[in-house]
Structure 1
Amino acid sequence: MMKKFRAFMHTVLSAAVLCTTLLFSSVAMANEITVYTSYEEDEAAAFLAAMQRDLPDLKVNLLRLSTGDLHARMLAEADNPRHDVIWGWAVTNMVDPRILDMLEPYKPKGIERVPARFRDAQDRWFATTGYMAAFCVNNEVLARKNLPMPTSWEDLLKPEFKGEVVMPNPASSGTGYLQIASLLQMKGEEKGWKYLSDLDKNIAQYIKSGSRPCNAASAGEFAVGASFALRAIKNINEGYPITMVIPKEGAGNELEATGLMKSSRNKAAAKRFIDWALSDSAVDEYYVWKEIVTVSGGSMPEAFINAGLPKDVGSVMVDMDFAWSAQNRDRILQQWQKTLER
């Protein structure tokens, strides 16, 4: 009789331990999400550290890939997505209809802090950060060669800039592509391609990286490097003799967006993370790392302002048609490679 009782109690205790284990596992899983991002590693680490201070119980498993590689991975996993949130990813990629179909509409807390131009009309994504085109102009080269300070894309067509301009190759650089796409959108395709053909006469090199044209100009190799604003700001702060110029026609730009996956198995936790992305803590951290912050509140670093970035960056940003940029990317790059690449 005693043996049967002990066997019974062992069964009860084992069941209790199993239930407790399952309970804790369920709680752990409920507070654990997988996030895909294309934020740079140092940016993502800083943002997550701030999130962890506010949401210490939320565990985030992060996969960081370049924009193109992440696009390929999401399409490859389309039948069985493995993440809960897509975070800090190019809007040009986000608006791919195949990607949009994976996203669940969600209005996070604080979404009213993001202007309508920076979010999807159906609430499938919103953009909190981004980057934009800018010229890095070497002051010493200008003085030595008696060149005028360029203030616009049109100024770069002046004959005195022949061989003095470098810009990114749009086939390999996201910054290069946004520059080309913004010019075609601002001018219309016929005039835009004519402009690019005329500009080509002054281009010394098309460089694969978005940052290297700025670095080359900063080093005095060329007068002007068409690049992006944050690279210019960093080089100015490091003491290089350059001026950052935002072209007066407007700055082409790319936005970095966030969305909730329909397939998420931990939607409550995923929504907490997405809500946090619009919090004061998040916005404060964005301003440390990004030249474009779309969320109201926070303050731009003095170093950014001193380098020439306007406090209202929206006032100098081109209203990009990201869907057009995405739909026409292959065609535009093929035409550019056929007519201009060298």
Structure 2
Amino acid sequence: MDNETTTRRIPMALCAAALGLAAGMAHAQRTPLLVYTALETDSMKAYKTAFEKANPDIEIKWVRDSTGIITAKLMAEKANPQADVVAGVAASSLALLDQEGMLQPYQPKGFEALTRTYSDSKNPPAWVGMDVWAAAICFNTVEAKKRGLPKPETWKDLAKPIYKGAIVMPHPASSGTGFLDVSAWLQMWGEQDGWKYMDALHENIAQYQHSGSKPCKAAGTGEFPIGISFEFRAYQVVKSGAPVELVFPKEGLGWDIEATAIMKTTKKPEQAKRLADWFASKEANQITSNWWAVVAYPGVAQKLKGIPDNYEQLLVKNDLNWAAKNRERILAEWGKRYEGKSEAK
């Protein structure tokens, strides 16, 4: 090797080493943001990839569980909160955190473009909506035919004796979907008639499962003919080719909002606000529209197979603040009456 070649290669090697060091330092300088979530695992990767591409200096660190578990975890940590941001968690749960003084109100960039009724009514809002999710019934036509079960059309149909042992639904203390069902029935019919309905429904329940998705998955595989679930999972099960028809009961659908909020105690407020900004963006809403029939950004939602055109009109009148204030009392009463059929944890 001649001296000229050696001379050329030394600077090149130094340059490559410097670039590698710079890249390593840039990666090391990424700020981790701890985000508690109840998002479906199907969607978490898409959100993380898109956000980090737009914000390469921030890394999302998810802590994921069902809504009820995440809510209980946040309340247990009230004296020393760990999360920086809560995203994809029920607005009724975030309203509870707000009532406890745990959230930092913030109006994200572009907020004025969102449907106002799907976020906290205060200015600035304590939480900002991502999408609406609502109850749906997954009905396995093959298994139902074997058992001679008619397709239900209403919630009250499910209380008929013919469905005894044929129904699974989410546990309201573990699942946000289970809680929105219970809350809706109590608000639709009043507490006396709501509990009376649930007493009758309980006679037909095979199991209360600790996930909003699991009952529809169980209906899809034929484990049970009927699963009370929500439209995201119902749509996915139908899309997979399972012999399932979706039922949207005529009385109306319980619903809640997946939302984003910043914890008051975060030590990374700038990065937390950037994540809140991104979740309010059209880009994030376009990702959300792959799975949800109603999203916060108008005009972005897509037509999803099996979801009726009047879906949004089926949503019942729902007081999320009432649900938050009465959550503990409702769950205590529900547990006294029905805990015996709960799935083992």
TM-score higher than 0.5: yes
- For 1:298, the aligned partner's letter is V
Q: Unaligned stretches of 5+ in structure 2?
A: 1-24, 341-345
C-alpha separation in 2, matches of 1:208 and 1:266: 33
* Root-mean-square deviation over aligned CA pairs: 2.9
Aligned to 1:102: 102
Contact kept? 2:231, 2:292, Cα under 8 Å: no
Aligned to 2:313: 315
Alpha-carbon offset, residue 42 of structure 1 = 4.4
- For 2:322, the aligned partner's letter is W
C-alpha separation in 2, matches of 1:281 and 1:158: 45
Contact kept? 2:58, 2:271, Cα under 8 Å: no
Aligned to 1:20: none
Relative to structure 1, is the Cα distance of residues 165 and 120 closer, same or farther in structure 2, using a 3 angstrom cutoff?
A: same
Which one of the candidate residues 333, 338, 342 is aligned to 1:340? 338
SS of aligned partner of 1:295: coil
**1:119 paired to 2:119:** yes
Q: Unaligned stretches of 5+ in structure 1?
A: 1-24
Contact kept? 1:35, 1:87, Cα under 8 Å: no
Alpha-carbon offset, residue 76 of structure 1 = 5.5
- For 2:117, the aligned partner's letter is R
- Within a 5 Å distance, the mapping from 1:237-256 to structure 2 comes to 237-256=239-258
Relative to structure 1, is the Cα distance of residues 341 and 61 closer, same or farther in structure 2, using a 3 angstrom cutoff?
A: closer
Identity of aligned residues (%): 38
Relative to structure 1, is the Cα distance of residues 340 and 72 closer, same or farther in structure 2, using a 3 angstrom cutoff?
A: closer
Relative to structure 1, is the Cα distance of residues 190 and 137 closer, same or farther in structure 2, using a 3 angstrom cutoff?
A: same
C-alpha separation in 2, matches of 1:273 and 1:54: 10
Aligned to 1:164: 166
Aligned length: 311
Contact kept? 2:34, 2:82, Cα under 8 Å: no
| CA displacement, residues 187-209 of structure 1 (integer Å, 9 cap, x when unaligned) | 11011011111222333333333
C-alpha separation in 1, matches of 2:89 and 2:153: 30
- For 1:341, the aligned partner's letter is E
Q: Which moved more, 1:148-157 or 1:78-87?
A: 78-87
Contact kept? 1:175, 1:210, Cα under 8 Å: yes
SS of aligned partner of 2:194: helix
C-alpha separation in 2, matches of 1:133 and 1:287: 17
- Within a 5 Å distance, the mapping from 1:81-96 to structure 2 comes to 81=81, 83-96=83-96
- For 1:60, the aligned partner's letter is E
- For 2:336, the aligned partner's letter is K
- Within a 5 Å distance, the mapping from 1:1-342 to structure 2 comes to 32=31, 34-38=33-37, 39-56=39-56, 58-66=57-65, 67-75=67-75, 78=78, 81=81, 83-96=83-96, 101-122=101-122, 123-300=125-302, 305-306=304-305, 308-311=306-309, 313-342=311-340
| CA displacement, residues 298-340 of structure 1 (integer Å, 9 cap, x when unaligned) | 242x5xx22x113564322223222222222232222223223
Relative to structure 1, is the Cα distance of residues 207 and 271 closer, same or farther in structure 2, using a 3 angstrom cutoff?
A: closer
C-alpha separation in 2, matches of 1:124 and 1:197: 36
Contact kept? 1:135, 1:228, Cα under 8 Å: yes
Relative to structure 1, is the Cα distance of residues 263 and 335 closer, same or farther in structure 2, using a 3 angstrom cutoff?
A: closer
| CA displacement, residues 91-130 of structure 1 (integer Å, 9 cap, x when unaligned) | 1221125666233332222223332321112211111124
C-alpha separation in 1, matches of 2:207 and 2:82: 41
Considering only CA atoms, is the larger Rg found in Structure 1 or Structure 2? 1
Alpha-carbon offset, residue 70 of structure 1 = 4.0
Q: Give runs of ≥4 in structure 1 deviating > 6 Å.
A: none
